[in-house]
Amino acid sequence: MIKKFILDAGPLGRIAHPQANAEVTRKLKALLEQDATIIISEISDYEIRRSLLLEGLTQSVEKLDRLQQVLSFLPLTSDAMRQAAEFWARIRRRHKRTADDKALDGDVILAAQAFLIDATVITENAKHLDQFVPVVQWQEL
């Protein structure tokens, strides 16, 4: 069975940077060599891209575009947004939060995308995501 991993914004930002984090890059290459699928979600792309554009980091935006040609890209869908809404409501009924009530809440959107394709999220912030889907800290890969 091929293992699927979806990148949270933190690890994605570390590899999109012009001076990519060597450790994250090495670990992701090792996964690819084991026939794992590494996926960039549209919500993670959005979170990183907006910051790069704000800071005028055009080389990093170009690198992010190139990464989408090497890795898989998962666009947002209506199913993902509906699942995210269910996750958002479920966690709030338990009096917990992953973001401010008025925030779009990228974590639940990412979790919904991962849930629908049965993927593990590679992250730096497991506590928001592990309530919904399997996660792994990138440092533990």
- Per-residue pLDDT tens listing for the chain (141 residues): 569 999 999 999 999 988 889 999 999 999 999 999 999 999 999 999 999 999 999 999 999 999 999 999 999 999 999 999 999 999 889 878 776 777 678 999 999 999 999 999 999 988 889 999 999 999 998
Torsion, CA 3, CA 21, CA 70, CA 40, rounded to 10 = 60
Tokens found for residue 25: 């890059």
Domain count, the chain: 1
Smallest Cα–Cα separation from 141: which of 1, 5, 2? 5
Task: State the residue range of the domain holding 131.
Answer: 4-140
Measured in whole angstroms, the distance separating CA 31 from the mean position of its chain's CA atoms is 16
Write the CATH number for 102: 3.40.50.1010
Phi, psi of 55 (to 5 degrees): -85, 0
Phi, psi of 120 (to 5 degrees): -95, 135
Kindly report the pTM of this predicted structure.
Answer: 0.91
CA pair distance 129, 123, nearest whole angstrom: 9
Q: Would you tell me how many other CB atoms lie within 10 Å of the CB of residue 36?
A: 16
CA angle at 9 for the pair 119 and 19, rounded to the nearest 5°: 120
